[in-house]
Structure 1
Amino acid sequence: MTYEDLANKVSMSVMGLGYPVALQYVASAAQEFFEESEVWRDAKINVDLQVNQEYYDINFGENISVVQVREVYVDGALLSQISNEEYIAEISKNNSVTATNPNRCAFYGADRIRFLPVCGKKAKLTINCSLKPSLKAKTIPVDLLETYGKAIISGALRDIFLMKSKPWGDINESRLHDRKFVLGIQKARATGDKGNTKNNVMIDLNDLPMG
């Protein structure tokens, strides 16, 4: 299953809607769904940190964006998260803060981790993240589409039916699909909070019909 499969279902649900428009709205709905639900989670495990490495840029590839860094471990020890302001204040007091292992970290944007103190030895870094498709993404992992595809379709239809100037514009249909979309996000978020993510999804969205 791909975005194209969902777009075909969307375009067949709305008379006169072109496939390219359907595909655009499916991609947008997928971004919103995973940003709001944070159910797509993955990790970078045992990344090599070098001596005196000040930061690490997370990269899952051009098709994936980081929504939130949830946990950071260095050699198995969980780092406390501090604000950038706290990080800058600490560095300004001592710009050569170095220790065997960092015990705190700050985030610069969504995908750069800065360590405090700077790692004073080679170490293993593990990062747990919640993810979403990037603007360049053409699809997402098939298990996610199979599980959450119906909710994503409802998100796309919500916005499509909001096009008041189009023949298919229908505020009531838009509201209906908005409720389905929000319900899907809420259920997915609850599932993620219980630890059932990506490869261990225990949720049934069959109560969200295609429309």
Structure 2
Amino acid sequence: MKSMQPYMPGESAPASDIGISDRYQEIKFRVFDLTLEYLDQQGVEGESIPLTALQDEIARAIAVVLMSRGIALNMRERAQLIEDVQNEIVGFGPLEPLLKDPGVDDIIVNGPARIYVERNGELEPVQTRFRDTTHLMNVIQRIVSPIGRRVDEGTPYVDGRLPDGSRVNVIIPPVALDGPILSIRKFKHIPLTGEDLVRNGTATPDMLKYLIGA
């Protein structure tokens, strides 16, 4: 029997590094597929069972996949894998952490492999990605369905507002030539202050003084 080999770096590795590699992605989606098989055998869907029960099924799938590949993960890495697979089943996949990040103002997706976020007025790429175009389209449908919309070749453009107030815009082929395009402008629950406007470059200190004195 082959010995179990650690897959990722040790405990000192930053959590943001987990999930970037192709190998991790392959393991994540094998766990995802196997978890769906388990749920299908029970005749249930991920959204219809308690979250703890779903996490138990994901953990069971992780144990099988890691054993079959001779891979060992530490507790932090297992927890990250459970969360990532959970996001694929009942969340918005790789976009879920970005949607929860209060520092992210906008999310822009140009096809399955190119994702950008805006932080403090600066656009930057992120390492997360979708499995393929089908994966991206599934997440897009999951995003727009709560607002009673659907995007397909007959309706390749959707513009709407999500339940939390965020603005979503979707363009898919044939209108989008290089694959689906998705943008989400997140709703700010905490209003921006004058200092915020200066810090992110929207206003200068002199402009702020003028507005205060107006």
TM-score by length of 2: 0.22
TM-score by length of 1: 0.23
Higher relative contact order (CA 8 A, sep 6+): 1
Q: Which has the higher helix share?
A: 2
Q: Which has the higher strand share?
A: 1
